[in-house]
Amino acid sequence: MNTGPHIPQERRLVTAIPGPKSQEIIKRRSEAVSASLGMAIPVVVTQAGGGVIVDIDGNSIIDMGAGIAVVSVGNSADRVVKNVIEQVQAFTHTCFMIAPYLGYIEVCEALNRLTPGTHKKKSVLLNSGAEAVENAVKIARAYTKRQAVIVFEHGYHGRTNLTMGMTAKNMPYKEGFGPFAGEIYRMPMAYPFRWTGERTKVTEQALDIVTHKIEKEIGAKNVAAIVIEPIQGEGGFIVPPKGFLPGLANFAKANGIVFVADEVQTGFGRTGNMFAIEDENVDADLVVTAKGIAGGFPLAGVTGRAEMLDSVHASGLGGTFGGNPVACAAALGAIATIEEENLVARANQIGKIMTDAMNAMAKKYSIIGEVRGRGAMQAFELVKPGTDEPNAEAVGAIIKFCQQNGVLILSAGTYGNVIRLLPPLVIPENLLNEALGIIDQAFASIS
C-alpha cells in the first residue's frame, strides 16, 4: 500500500513516554490551553503516517486509534496531500453559498453514490459530526413538520447544545452545560452484554419497549426522527443484535418517521462495509457522515432522500465554512483511496486479525467480559473477574502499559470500561500484530 509520508513503519522507543521535549511542550500546553480539554497520550506529534505517530523526542508509536476513526486512509495519505496542495494553490475559500465550486458537488455526488439505497439522493456538507447531526434533525423536522427526536441509551452525537441533549452520557459531555434542547426522548438500547431481560430475546424485547414507549409516551405521529449509531462508538462499541436496526427502520417507515443513521464513527469502510447499516441492508432516510470522510480534514455531510433534503426552504441550511474547498479536495482524495486501495475489504482482514487475537486474550484473562465489534472497529469490555461489574481501573492500567510500550489505544463506554481498537486501515500487518502482542502483555501485567 502506497499511502502516507514514507516514514519508517516501526515501533521505536528512544525515551520514556513522554520524553523530555514532549514534557516541556506539554507544560506550555497547560499554560496556554484551556484545562478543559482531554489528552489521551502526553506526547507532542511531529509526523504521522501509515500505522505510526512520531513524537518530538523521536519515539514512533503504533496508532490503534486513527484520531478516533478519522485517518482511516492513513495520515497525510498520498491522494489527500496531492489534492489538498493543488486546491490550496488554486483557492482556499469562496463560501459555497456565495460562489460554488466543483469539489463540493463532487463530494455530494460521491456521498449520494456510496450511501446505501437506490432512491434519488442529495447531500449537504458541514464542518463537524455534531453540526451534521443537527442538520439531519433540522431536515427531518422541516420534512415531517413534527418535533420529537428519538435517541438511545449509550448514544453519542456531539457536544453542541442540541447534540449534547442527544448524547447519553453526562460526565464529561453534559455536566453543568444545560439546559438542553427540548423534544429529545431517550430509549433503551439493545445492548446484549448488559440486557436485563432474556438474553436470547434482546431484539424482540428491546423493539417492544421502544415502540411501546414511542406510541404511549410521545405519540408516533409527533416523532420527526429516530437517530441511532449503527454501532455505538463512544458508548462502547455496542453492536445491536440482528434485527434491531431493521425493526426500528420498519417502525419509522410505517409511522412517517425519518430514520437517521449516525455513521460518523462507523462510516467509510471502518466496519467492513462502506457504511455499517449495509450489514443488515437497512435503508436509512438520512445518513450522517464525518470523521473518515476527508483523511483528517474537517468535513461532514448529511445525505439522503432528495425529497427530504429539498423540503427545507431556500437558504434554510448552510454555514460559512461548510464544504470548504480544501476539505472537499481532501475528501475526494480519501474516497479515491478507500475505493482504489480496497480499504473496505482491508477493514475485514484487519477485523479478522484483531478478533482472533482478542478472543484468544479473552480465554486467558478473566477481566475481559466481552470482545465485540465489526471489521476494524473492535473492543474489549472489561469487568471485575467473575462478575459483570464494569472495570474502568483496568482500562486505565492497560492504556498506560501500552503507551509506555509504544502503542496508542483508546477507551470508551458509558462506564469507561471499554478498550476500543480502530487502527488506520492502511496499518501494516506486522505492526498490527505487534500492537496486539503488546496489548496481550498489558493484560498479563495486571492479571
In whole angstroms, the minimum distance from the beta carbon of 93 to ligand PLZ comes to 20
Ramachandran assignment for 241, one of left (phi > 0), alpha (psi -120 to 50 degrees), beta (any other): beta
Q: Hey, which residues does 150 pair with through a beta bridge?
A: 185, 226
Give the residue, chosen from 262, 341, 370, 434, that forms a contact with ligand PLZ under the rule CB under 6 A.
262
By residue count, the chain amounts to 447
Question: Which grid coordinates are listed for 395?
Answer: 482500562
Q: Is 234 in the site for ligand PLZ (CB under 6 A)?
A: yes
In whole angstroms, the minimum distance from the beta carbon of 375 to ligand PLZ comes to 16
Which range touches ligand PLZ (CB under 6 A), out of 107-115, 128-136, 188-196, 253-261?
128-136
Which range touches ligand PLZ (CB under 6 A), out of 76-84, 136-144, 227-235, 251-259?
227-235
Kindly give the pairing relationship between strand 368-374 and strand 223-228. unpaired
Nearer to ligand PLZ, 277 or 436 (CB): 277
Binding mask 22-61 for ligand PLZ (x = CB under 6 A): ----------------------------------------
In whole angstroms, the minimum distance from the beta carbon of 234 to ligand PLZ comes to 5
Please check whether residue 64 is in contact with residue 407, taking contact to mean a CB–CB distance below 8 angstroms: yes
First-to-final CA distance of the chain: 37
Rounded-to-integer distance, Cα 108 and Cα 211, Å: 34
Kindly give the pairing relationship between strand 223-228 and strand 407-408. unpaired
Rounded-to-integer distance, Cα 300 and Cα 412, Å: 22
In whole angstroms, the minimum distance from the beta carbon of 235 to ligand PLZ comes to 9
Q: Is 129 in the site for ligand PLZ (CB under 6 A)?
A: yes
Nearer to ligand PLZ, 68 or 239 (CB): 68
Beta strands in 56-172 (DSSP E): 60-63, 121-126, 148-152
- Of the candidates 340, 428, 400, 204, the one whose C-alpha atom is nearest the C-alpha of residue 411 is 400
Q: Segment 279-298, which members bind ligand PLZ (CB under 6 A)? A: 290
Binding mask 64-93 for ligand PLZ (x = CB under 6 A): ----x-------------------------
In whole angstroms, the minimum distance from the beta carbon of 127 to ligand PLZ comes to 8
Please check whether residue 306 is in contact with residue 232, taking contact to mean a CB–CB distance below 8 angstroms: no
CB closest to ligand PLZ, residue no = 129
Q: Is 96 in the site for ligand PLZ (CB under 6 A)?
A: no
Nearest-Å Rg of the Cα atoms of the chain is 21
Nearer to ligand PLZ, 19 or 304 (CB): 304
Question: Which grid coordinates are listed for 56?
Answer: 518530538
Nearer to ligand PLZ, 29 or 384 (CB): 29
Q: Is 331 in the site for ligand PLZ (CB under 6 A)?
A: no
Nearer to ligand PLZ, 234 or 285 (CB): 234
Ramachandran assignment for 219, one of left (phi > 0), alpha (psi -120 to 50 degrees), beta (any other): left
Binding mask 171-210 for ligand PLZ (x = CB under 6 A): ----------------------------------------
Which range touches ligand PLZ (CB under 6 A), out of 89-97, 122-130, 138-146, 340-348?
122-130
Give the residue, chosen from 108, 130, 227, 371, that forms a contact with ligand PLZ under the rule CB under 6 A.
130
Q: Is 134 in the site for ligand PLZ (CB under 6 A)?
A: no
Long-range contacts of 82-87 (CB under 8 A, 24+ apart): 82/333, 83/329, 83/330, 83/332, 83/333, 84/297, 84/326, 84/329, 84/330, 84/333, 86/329, 87/325, 87/326, 87/328, 87/329
Tally Cβ neighbours within 10 Å of residue 253. Answer: 13
Rounded-to-integer distance, Cα 274 and Cα 343, Å: 9
Nearer to ligand PLZ, 84 or 126 (CB): 126
Give the residue, chosen from 158, 269, 301, 369, that forms a contact with ligand PLZ under the rule CB under 6 A.
158
Question: Which grid coordinates are listed for 386?
Answer: 467473575
Q: Hey, which residues does 374 pair with through a beta bridge?
A: 377
In whole angstroms, the minimum distance from the beta carbon of 163 to ligand PLZ comes to 7
Q: Segment 336-375, which members bind ligand PLZ (CB under 6 A)? A: none
Nearer to ligand PLZ, 49 or 158 (CB): 158
Give the residue, chosen from 19, 233, 292, 301, that forms a contact with ligand PLZ under the rule CB under 6 A.
233
Where do contacts with ligand PLZ occur on this chain (CB under 6 A)? 68, 128-130, 133, 156-159, 229, 233-234, 262, 264-265, 290
